[in-house]
Amino acid sequence: MKGFKYFAARLKSHVKSSPAVIIVSLITAIAIAFAAFAAARSIISSEDRRLFKIGVVADMTQRYMDLAFDTMNNLDDTRFAVEFEAMEEERAKSALSSGEIVGYLVVPDGFIDAAAAAEFIPATFVTEGGEGALVQALVSEFIGVAERLADETQRSVFGADRYMYERGVKWAVRDPLTDGWALTFAEYLLARNGTLRVILTGERDASTGEYYFSAFVLLFAMLFGVGCVSHMVRRDEALPRLLFARRVGAVRQTAAEAASYFIFSFAFLAVVTLLAGAVVTLSGASGFLGGRNFGDFALYALRLAPASLMISCAGLFMYECTRSSAPAVLLQFVAAIGTAYITGFFYPSSFFPVTVQKIARALPGGAAFSYAKALFTGGAREYILPVALYAALFFFAACAVRKIRIGGESQ
Amino acid sequence: MYIKVDNIKKKYGGREVLRGVSFEAERGSIVGIVGLNGSGKSTALGILSGVLPGEGTFTVDGVDMMRDRAARERTVGYVPQGTPLMEELTARDNLLLWYKKSDMESELERGVLRLLGVDKFLKTKVSRMSGGMKKRLSIGCAVAKRPNVILLDEPTSALDILCREAIADYLTRFREAGGVAVIATHDGAEVGLCDKVYVLRDGVLTAADGGDLSGMLSE
């Protein structure tokens, strides 16, 4: 009963601290997200960026295939360092499953001739789907390159018209030629949307919108701990000792604190998720998140509970390890930013070396992120166990530290 | 004897902090444990309150407090060093953690909480309280079970004269009502309240018996 009264008192103390906590957390989360995104962008655009290898399955004897490769290699000028390598389809399949390449492009026979006649046969990009944000970014880069080519082609059509005009070609000859070129170009543009088909052989990973939406809510959840420092850090052991003397042991104390802190932080996380969802829905940008509506975001917010529980337990453990505000702020801040950076909250983790990605995925932040993304893409159940295990680990670690602090040396 | 403390021992790592602390007290008395900083006063009270594990026996009216935690919770009140309060909450909210609502109201009307003057700042947030208010509220929280024995760890250190007097007045009345207070202190004014004073030095407790305290501590 006393444990429950302590839980209720803790919850009340959270509620009373909430205005300051909300303001601090929101300002910090937004500021950090912008700053870190900019920093990550500049780092990733440097020479150290990761090289993405893509297989190309095509009949290399086709006309203009060299030109097509040159076009694709233009991708190197953009955000990605991409290397295309011609290979047989069987070899491409095994390279994809071993992670040697991120995907392969199957260019069908007659593709180039058909393209020249504005009769597109779609090329196919096959990928595991494990790096959804990357795949989406790559596809948009493909389209970007095509659009730049279209721009140049349009200019050349009108350039040809001007060339003929300057050399005195009569309007009656010039006009049908220019119209013909323009019409062919229009057909080319209209058919362009069907040029590339994407096939995911593995589970679908989050789209760019889903990726950053998940990253934002988890970043908020982690930085929420910074805002709570003022009322969560205990400067002496008087209250735990008095509770202990009243037969509320270290585990019951920690459980009451974890439960109240989880309810408090989850409530705010849910509100932030709903607000972000409402902004996405009302601004007409829901297409960015797979056309989801407000109800979908409400369900997403509710289903974030396990990740929120894990982050709350981790936060509680960090509070337990500190005795004053400054180290507590520092610890919470560094843990949140470090986790967010390595897990890829600010930029797709695909840009990090594969070893770093593997480590990041195994860490608590990575487990929570995988779970949050899977709430969009499906298969979230698979990630509940690691999240729950980390939550339990942090909870019992907090209990152990509490026990040590209660029984610590007194003067 | 109403309370008997016998051969309390405590080690931290290999270091022996308490090497057999023993004392006794009758009903209606205040016992002072005096010692320099780090002498083990708080450790001794921590063991008697059940917060810290330790060897030895502690009986109140013949009941073994070291074994019977429920009896100890009913019988022994403990006021730890520091502030066992929740800073964001009011005095009232903090009291409700330890008292039933009806008990708190009756104590505020004519009981210990009125005596401590807690009724005057009931709606004040702890974070806005002075050190004296916090200490009086802490004592109020610690005695919610109306214990017969109170263990107080430096109850008036760094408090103003008015607050010291309020706490001294409370302890005097507690003694008159037949209670036993054990105070860990290095404060002369608190020592003046005590019926019996012990000096804790090198882990051993020695009765002062009106001797020169400063001399005993500095030996």
Q: Looking at per-residue confidence, does B22 or A157 come out higher?
A: B22
Q: Which tens digits make up the pLDDT trace of B145-163?
A: 899 999 999 888 777 888 8
Q: Point out the residues of chain B with pLDDT beneath 50.
A: none
Contact B41, B35 (CB under 8 A): yes
In chain B, residues with a C-beta closer than 8 Å to the C-beta of A16 are 88-89
Is the minimum CB–CB distance between B14 and chain A shorter than 8 Å? no
Burial A379-389 (b: 16+ CB within 10 A, else e): ebeebeebbee
Q: Quick one: closest CA in A to B43, which residue?
A: A410
Q: Which of B50, B86, B98 sits opposite A13 (nearest CB)?
A: B86
Q: Looking at per-residue confidence, does A188 or A270 come out higher?
A: A270
Q: Quick one: closest CA in A to B46, which residue?
A: A410
Length of chain B: 219
CA of B38 vs chain A CAs: smallest distance (Å):
4
Residue type at B213?
L
pLDDT value at residue A280: 80
C-alpha angle B31-B36-B40 in degrees, rounded to nearest 5: 70
CA distance B210 to A116: 112
**Edge to edge, what strands does the sheet with A123-127 contain?**
A81-86, A51-58, A103-107, A123-127, A196-200
Q: Quick one: closest CA in A to B81, which residue?
A: A238
Contact A241, B46 (CB under 8 A): yes
Residue type at B60?
V
Q: Quick one: closest CA in A to B66, which residue?
A: A245
CA distance B214 to B198: 12
Is the minimum CB–CB distance between B93 and chain A shorter than 8 Å? yes
pLDDT value at residue A353: 75
Contact A40, A341 (CB under 8 A): yes
Q: Which of B75, B24, B38 is nearest to B200 (CA)?
A: B38
Dihedral angle, C-alpha B123, B126, B131, B136, nearest 10 °: 60
Over range A401-408, report the average pLDDT: 88
Contact B46 A410 (CB under 8 A): yes
pLDDT value at residue B191: 84
As beta bridge partners, residue A58 has: A107
Best of A10, A241, A244, A402 to disrupt the B interface (most B CBs within 10 Å) is A241
Q: Which CATH architecture has domain B3-218?
A: 3-Layer(aba) Sandwich (3.40)
Q: Looking at per-residue confidence, does A193 or A103 come out higher?
A: A103
pLDDT value at residue A132: 53
pLDDT value at residue A411: 44
Residue type at A208?
T
Strands B55-60 and B204-207: unpaired
Q: Which of A237, A245, A409 sits opposite B50 (nearest CB)?
A: A245
Contact A238 B83 (CB under 8 A): yes
Contact B78 A239 (CB under 8 A): no
CA distance A311 to A20: 20
Q: Quick one: closest CA in B to A12, which residue?
A: B89
Handedness of CA A373, A376, A379, A382 (dihedral sign): positive
Q: For residue B15, how many other CB atoms are within 10 A of its CB?
A: 9
CA distance A11 to A269: 16
**HSE (CB half, 13 Å, CA atoms) of A212?**
18
Kindly give, in sequence order, each residue whose CB lies less than 8 Å from that of residue A283, ignoring residues fewer than 6 positions away.
Answer: none
Best of A246, A264, A324, A403 to disrupt the B interface (most B CBs within 10 Å) is A246
Strand positions, DSSP E, A349-397:
none
Q: Which of A6, A236, A246 sits opposite B82 (nearest CB)?
A: A236
Which secondary-structure segment (H or E) carries B11? Answer: strand B3-12
Is the confidence at residue A302, as pLDDT, over 70? yes
Is the minimum CB–CB distance between B182 and chain A shorter than 8 Å? no
Contact B138 A237 (CB under 8 A): no
Residue A130 — very low, low, confident or very high, per pLDDT cuts 50/70/90? low
Tell me, rounded to whole angstroms, the distance of Cα A74 from its chain centroid: 26
String of DSSP letters for A10-56: HHHHHHHHHHHHHHHHHHHHHHHHHHHHHHHHHHHTSTTPPEEEEEE
Domain limits, chain A: 2-43+207-406, 50-128+131-200
CA of A298 vs chain B CAs: smallest distance (Å):
31
Contact B89, A17 (CB under 8 A): no
Strand positions, DSSP E, A239-315:
none
Q: Which tens digits make up the pLDDT trace of A40-84?
A: 566 555 545 556 677 778 777 766 666 666 666 665 555 556 677
Most confident stretch, A101-105, A290-294, B64-68: B64-68
Q: Which tens digits make up the pLDDT trace of A16-38?
A: 988 888 888 778 777 776 776 66
Q: Which CATH architecture has domain A50-128+131-200?
A: 3-Layer(aba) Sandwich (3.40)
**Edge to edge, what strands does the sheet with B3-12 contain?**
B15-25, B3-12, B55-60, B63-64
Contact A360, A366 (CB under 8 A): yes
Q: Which of A9, A13, A242 sits opposite B80 (nearest CB)?
A: A242
Q: A69-73, A226-230, A333-337, B192-196: lowest mean pLDDT where?
A: A69-73
Residue type at A234?
R
Q: Residue A236 phi/psi, 5° resolution?
A: -140, 175
As beta bridge partners, residue B53 has: none
C-alpha angle B132-B134-B135 in degrees, rounded to nearest 5: 65
